[in-house]
Amino acid sequence: MEIRELSDSDVQEMWEINEQGLPGTGKVDEQGLLNLLEYSEISVGAYEDGELLGYVICLPPATEYGSLNYAWFNENMADFLYVDRIAVAQIHRDKGIGSRLYSHIIEYSSKQIAAEVSLNPPNLASMRFHGRFDFEKIGELHHETYSVNLMLRKAE
């Protein structure tokens, strides 16, 4: 498996993988994914034989991204790397791909890493996953149709 930077040519596969992860990954269209790649500080995919198996997109503070969860981190923290989404194709789950992607991000970043995990509907698997990488719950946000756990991994 190779971990490398995502490109615009990956967007169709990224969208398909994202759709397989709903509701946990959050709905986004292909243009939205292109925008996220443009805003990202680091966006990488796991590839095997040219196939995208999964990906992670991380943003620096203060981009134009309109997510309410991202806005909370911007309002409450000065410097962080925000995991907007991590997604693995359904047929490739439980093979350590998400762990390899997160390990890559953790190795890359000297900053604290912020993320959110769905609270309503609950995403217990994602909570366990983030816990394995030393993310701690620092709060909750409640929106009109969903709620999230705010997660933070302290800088090393």
Average confidence (pLDDT) per 10 residues, the chain, 156 residues? 96 96 85 97 97 98 92 95 96 95 96 93 89 96 91 92
pLDDT at residue 25, as a whole number? 79
pLDDT at residue 137, as a whole number? 96
Cα dihedral 70, 4, 10, 97, rounded to 10, equals: -70
Q: How many helices (H) and strands (E) does the chain have?
A: 5, 7
Domain span at residue 126 reads 2-153
Q: For residue 118, what is the domain's CATH number?
A: 3.40.630.30
Give the number of domains in the chain. 1
pLDDT at residue 96, as a whole number? 95
pLDDT at residue 120, as a whole number? 86
Nearby residues of 116 by Cβ (< 8 Å), 6 or more positions away: 69, 141, 148, 149, 150, 151
* Stretch (H or E) spanning 13: helix 11-20
What's this model's pTM, rounded to 2 decimal places?
0.93
pLDDT at residue 27, as a whole number? 87
* Stretch (H or E) spanning 100: helix 97-108
pLDDT at residue 51, as a whole number? 96
pLDDT at residue 21, as a whole number? 85
